[in-house]
């Protein structure tokens, strides 16, 4: 088994061949209700990829071992971004699970794997995430992992025709229960 592998999932750094799929996902209206996405070209996708590689972000593709003996399916990506080594914190974001794979516990499992890697391999002390307060799905995923609300920024984003608050969730390593 790999470092970031479970019975169902493999998480590994995004490779250039994953980019066309991940770009399509950023165009998928079903997945962008709670995520701010501008239409993105392959040029900009490439620039984004170069930036995350240069920044040292831990941006991982999520592969699902759907059928035994078959190639794992690329579901989406999740990552720890803006890593601050001095203060030992990072931001968790960009998780998207396609509709047909939702409800199987995959978002929770992938996030758990990443968070444990962040705390116990990267030695992070704190992981935060900015979430729209009506994104019940991801709030449930984060709550199951032990994230709690730390604060709210009012009218912070203009999204789908309205200004929306954003809630900052966080988890400290000392509060994480394996
Ligand atoms: C949010 C999202 C990642 C959840 O993915 P998922 O794989 O279906 O989630 P899981 O199956 O791991 O669910 C974990 C828990 O959250 C709950 N949950 C998931 N989606 C939910 C929803 N829309 N409303 C309420 N609860 C929800 C599940 O019931 C489960 O709780 P339980 O264990 O108590 O039953 C997925 O719906 C998605 O990709 N949404 C669009 C993109 C997005 O908003 N991403 C988050 C911003 S970065």
Ligand 1 pocket residue status of 107, Cβ below 6 Å? yes
Quick one: DSSP state of residue 122? S
* Digit-coded pLDDT (tens) for 6-18: 999 999 999 999 9
Q: Tell me, yes or no, whether 140 lies in a domain.
A: no
* Digit-coded pLDDT (tens) for 109-152: 999 999 999 999 999 999 999 999 999 999 999 999 999 999 99
Q: What is the mean pLDDT of residues 145-162?
A: 96
- Tell me how far the alpha carbon of residue 114 lies from the centroid of ligand 1, in angstroms: 16
10 φ/ψ angles, rounded to the nearest 5 degrees: -125, 130
Residue 31 alpha carbon, nearest atom of ligand 1: 41
- Tell me how far the alpha carbon of residue 54 lies from the centroid of ligand 1, in angstroms: 30
Q: Tell me, yes or no, whether 70 lies in a domain.
A: yes
Q: Tell me, yes or no, whether 147 lies in a domain.
A: no
Give the separation between CA 8 and CA 45, rounded to whole angstroms.
Answer: 28
CATH number assigned to the domain comprising residue 50 = 3.40.630.30
Ligand 1 pocket residue status of 141, Cβ below 6 Å? yes
Give the separation between CA 104 and CA 98, rounded to whole angstroms.
Answer: 11
Q: Tell me, yes or no, whether 89 lies in a domain.
A: yes
Number of domains in the chain: 1
Q: Tell me, yes or no, whether 152 lies in a domain.
A: no
Q: Which domain holds residue 111?
A: 4-125
Q: Tell me, yes or no, whether 109 lies in a domain.
A: yes
């Amino acid at each position: 088994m790999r470092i970031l592998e479970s019975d169902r999932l493999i998480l590994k750094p995004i490779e250039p061949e994953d980019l066309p799929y991940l770009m399509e996902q950023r165009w998928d209206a079903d997945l962008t209700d709670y995520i701010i996405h501008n239409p993105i070209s392959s040029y900009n996708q490439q620039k984004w990829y170069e930036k995350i590689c240069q920044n040292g972000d831990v941006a991982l593709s999520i592969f699902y071992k759907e059928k035994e003996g078959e190639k794992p399916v690329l579901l989406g990506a999740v990552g720890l971004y803006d890593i601050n080594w001095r203060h030992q914190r990072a931001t968790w974001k960009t998780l998207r699970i396609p509709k047909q794979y939702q409800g199987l516990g995959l978002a929770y499992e992938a996030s758990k794997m990443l968070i444990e890697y962040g705390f116990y391999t990267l030695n992070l002390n704190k992981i935060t995430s900015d979430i729209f307060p009506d994104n019940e799905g991801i709030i449930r995923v984060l709550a199951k992992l032990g994230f709690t609300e730390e604060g709210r920024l009012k009218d912070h984003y203009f999204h789908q025709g309205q200004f929306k608050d954003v809630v900052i969730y966080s988890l400290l390593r000392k509060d994480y229960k394996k």
